[in-house]
């Protein structure tokens, strides 16, 4: 009888330790908020993007080399950082894998992907700005 | 306690005295006009040809619309002999330097630096140099069907 009580107590203790550890581990795994954001919120650098009007040429001349391209040139993506003053900075490709890049300093952690889809006549068909980070409201 | 806090505060001020935000400091020096005059070949819309551009800058980082648009990712490589791991750790991870160090690095860029076009082929080879580089611009060129420069833009990516 005494042994059974001991075993029960031991099990409760082990369960409590496991629960505590799992809570501790999961605490660091909170996902950042991810959501589409209105392009007009940020500076005037993206204001020129108009679906059905803006050409790929215009996009490249204003935003530079894209950080990614898909389906040939049908979809272009730009990785962007938004600083505390809502200024927008375009990031080149290798930053996606390097969190020690000096350009990440002094910036809040809001990182956005600008996704641009073009029609066959090289005109912008659809555009979306998707941001992630705890600073998002 | 107050005395201790004041001393600590003064020590912190003393420690950071002379440090500057390198992004602000460099963006005042590494301007678009500096880049054009010091590093880029003369570009004249309606005169410069695609061949002339490739002759001066080499192959582009990317092409679009069947070669009508060329994009160049440009950095100034300060380390002609390549960058060691310790240099990389020194340069890449500090956002604040004192003015003297930045002056020295700027002199190095201006004197010994070389323009590097980042391409798919060399990106891995120069990874440390690309990440640590203080300056990066994108040059976008559009050409007519005859291969004559039509429009271009120089975009600052960093500092």
Asked whether the ipTM of the predicted complex exceeds the cut of 0.90, the reply is: no
Which residue is associated with the tokens 């550890």?
Answer: A21
Q: Cα separation of A81 and B23, whole Å?
A: 15
pLDDT along chain B (159 residues), means of 10: 67 53 69 90 93 95 95 88 76 64 79 89 84 87 96 89
Q: Give counts: helices (H), strands (E), chain A.
A: 2, 6
When CB atoms are compared, the residue of B71, B93, B95 closest to A65 is B71
Q: What is the mean pLDDT of residues A121-130?
A: 93
Q: Cα separation of A87 and A43, whole Å?
A: 6
Cα–Cα distances in angstroms (integers) from residue A84 to residues A38, A128, B41, in the given order: 17, 21, 37
Cβ–Cβ contacts within 10 Å for residue A38, how many? 8
pTM over 0.80: no
Q: Would you say the C-alpha torsion A34, A36, A42, A44 has a positive or negative sign?
A: positive
B153: which strand partners?
B140
Nearest CA in chain B to A95: B131
CA B46 to chain centre: 28
* Long-range pairs of A20-28 with CB within 8 A, sequence gap ≥ 24: none
Tens of pLDDT, residue by residue over A52-82, are 999 999 999 999 999 899 999 999 999 888 7
B153/A61 CB distance under 8 A: yes
- With beta carbons under 8 A apart, name residues in chain A contacting B22: 102
When CB atoms are compared, the residue of B23, B69, B130 closest to A60 is B69
Angstroms from A108 CA to nearest CA on chain B: 14
Angstroms from A15 CA to nearest CA on chain B: 42
In B28-47, the residues whose Cβ lies within 8 Å of chain A are none
């Amino acid at each position: 009888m005494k042994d059974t009580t001991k075993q029960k107590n031991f099990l409760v203790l082990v369960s409590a330790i496991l629960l505590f550890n799992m809570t501790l581990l999961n605490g660091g795994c909170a996902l950042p908020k991810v959501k589409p954001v209105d392009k007009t919120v940020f500076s005037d650098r993206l204001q020129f993007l108009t679906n059905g009007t803006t050409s790929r040429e215009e996009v490249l001349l204003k935003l530079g080399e894209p950080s990614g391209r898909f389906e040939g040139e049908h979809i272009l993506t730009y990785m962007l950082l938004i600083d505390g003053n809502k200024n927008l900075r375009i990031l080149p490709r290798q930053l996606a894998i390097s969190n020690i890049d000096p350009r990440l300093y002094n910036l809040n952690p809001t990182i956005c992907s600008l996704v641009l889809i073009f029609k066959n006549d090289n005109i912008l068909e659809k555009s979306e700005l998707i941001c992630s980070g705890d600073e998002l409201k | 306690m107050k005395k201790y806090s004041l001393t600590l505060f003064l020590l912190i001020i003393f420690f950071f005295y002379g440090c500057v935000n390198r992004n602000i400091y460099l963006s005042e020096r590494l301007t678009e006009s500096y880049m054009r005059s010091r590093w880029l070949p003369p570009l004249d819309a309606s005169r410069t040809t695609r061949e002339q551009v490739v002759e001066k800058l080499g192959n582009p980082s990317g092409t679009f619309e069947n070669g009508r648009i060329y994009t160049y990712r440009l950095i100034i490589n300060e380390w002609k002999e390549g960058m060691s791991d310790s240099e990389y750790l020194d340069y890449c991870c500090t956002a604040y330097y004192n003015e003297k160090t930045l002056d020295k690095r700027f002199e190095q860029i201006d004197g010994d630096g070389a323009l590097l076009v980042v391409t798919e082929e060399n990106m891995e080879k120069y990874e440390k140099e690309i990440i640590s580089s203080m300056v990066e611009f994108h040059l976008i060129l559009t050409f007519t069907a005859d291969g004559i420069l039509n429009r271009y833009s120089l975009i600052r990516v960093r500092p």
